[in-house]
Amino acid sequence: MNKIASRKRKRSGQPKLWFAWIRANDTPDITIKQRENIRCTCSPPTNTQRITREVPERRRAPAGYINRIKRTAGHILEHKTQGKQATFHSITCRGPIVMAMMMGRSTAAAVLLALVVVASPMLLAASQPLGAPATNNSRLEKAYVALQALKKAITDDPKNMTKNWCGPDVCSHHGVYCATAPDDPCARTVASVDLNHGDLAGTLPEELGLLSDLAVFHLNSNRFCGALPDALRSLHLLHEIDVSNNQLTGNFPSQLLCLPNVQYVDIRFNNFCGEVPAAIFEKKIDALFINNNNFEFTLPANFSSSTASVIVLANLPRVGGCLPSSIGDMAGTLNELILLNSGISSCIPPEIGKLDKLTVLDLSSNGIVGKLPDTIGNMRALEQLNVANNMLAGEIPESICALPNLKNFTYSHNFFCGEPHRCLEVPHIDDRQNCIAGRPDQRPGEQCIEFLHRPPAQCAAHGQSSPPPMYAPPPPMY
């Protein structure tokens, strides 16, 4: 699958500086192999049987996404420490001298002594080295309980990911990262848990809800079973959750709807089932990956309300529904849309041409009918377009093949009968199994004639434009 690209957009919620520190101290590996081997048993394996899963090229927030937050964080830090613009969070743990410098001399002398008395304990706590055990820190005490519960719930740890999870110094645990608390500059707290690619087996305990300051939670490519704990709904600072490529079950985790700051949701390659709540498309998130599960729902009317830059609903054949004409409303944010093999059965609305920032569009392996709207030729940022394995007909609009950034155009296994020569100039095209005269590996002429004499698709029934015209059959192929 195509690389994930995030768009620059103003975010609300926790300061970006908080997330930037966590991202900077997270594991640096953000790419994965095209294929991964994952043991398919939750409990300790009794044999060496393994299954192979196709996984996308990237499994975590993309590098551009991380670097953008880092740049913003640097600007915030510089702004906060310049002269009188410094804030309480910037100066409290730097001592009373800094505050005195920001005041008039008459005021500074009066408060200096009091600040020494009040601030000294905080300064001492802030000056402790990162690996030092916490004393009287309720946040880290709760984190210790949560992490020990997780360790106990892990039934198999072949890579010894949790081997050093002993003692109260949770900040030294493998995969655990601490930072200054966002609401208390002199307190340390667990900000990130990253156990990606650990091949860990077990379940996820409710005690994880004690990690109240957690911003990043990554457990992808393990063998965790069962449902996500309901207590995750209390993690109000959570910014990224990635539990992809596990064996989690149950309905769509509604806990995600209760997380006000979540931006990155990745639950793909699991065994979740049932309906996906329409409310998920109302959340102000940046990336949504729910593909390769057992969800069964219809694409909701509010689908176009999503502000995500990346939406992947691939390999959900029980989804179904229509592409709404309101899809053009996503023009301000949408960068990648992957709906392959999702049971979509409708025409492609011409309003899709409003998505002028879209770089990847994959609608392959669905029941899409009608013709390709020539408005796609307005999507000048488009790099990859895949509409293969549908029931599209008519001619390929030349404006699409003239897109300046188009590198890959796949429209095989349809019933197209015309192809401008300009399309052959696209770096990578696949036009096999269509009805295009003079091109190799096309459908039999009888099959083309039979299909093209069917009644035209009624796009108006999907709340879209008027139905496309009947197409003349292509000339016979010899």
How many DSSP H helices and E strands does the chain contain?
Answer: 8, 23
Query: Six-digit token pair at 162?
Result: 């949790």
pLDDT digits (tens, 9 = 90+) for 276-321: 999 999 999 999 999 999 999 899 999 999 999 999 999 998 888 8
For the entire predicted model, the pTM comes to: 0.73
Q: What was the pLDDT predicted at 472? A: 41
**What are the residues whose beta carbons fall under 8 Å from the beta carbon of 215, sequence distance 6 or more?**
14, 18, 19, 22, 191, 192, 237, 238, 239, 240, 261
Reply yes or no on whether the pLDDT at 443 is more than 70: yes
pLDDT digits (tens, 9 = 90+) for 242-254: 999 999 999 999 9
Q: What was the pLDDT predicted at 320? A: 87
Q: In the predicted model, what is the mean pLDDT of the chain? A: 77
- Residue ranges of domains in the chain, CATH in brackets: 81-126 (no CATH), 175-462 (3.80.10.10)
**What are the residues whose beta carbons fall under 8 Å from the beta carbon of 324, sequence distance 6 or more?**
299, 301, 303, 304, 349, 463
Helix (H, G, I), strand (E, B) or coil at 394: strand
Provide the pLDDT confidence category of residue 274 given band limits of 50, 70 and 90: very high
Give the H/E segment covering residue 181.
strand 176-181
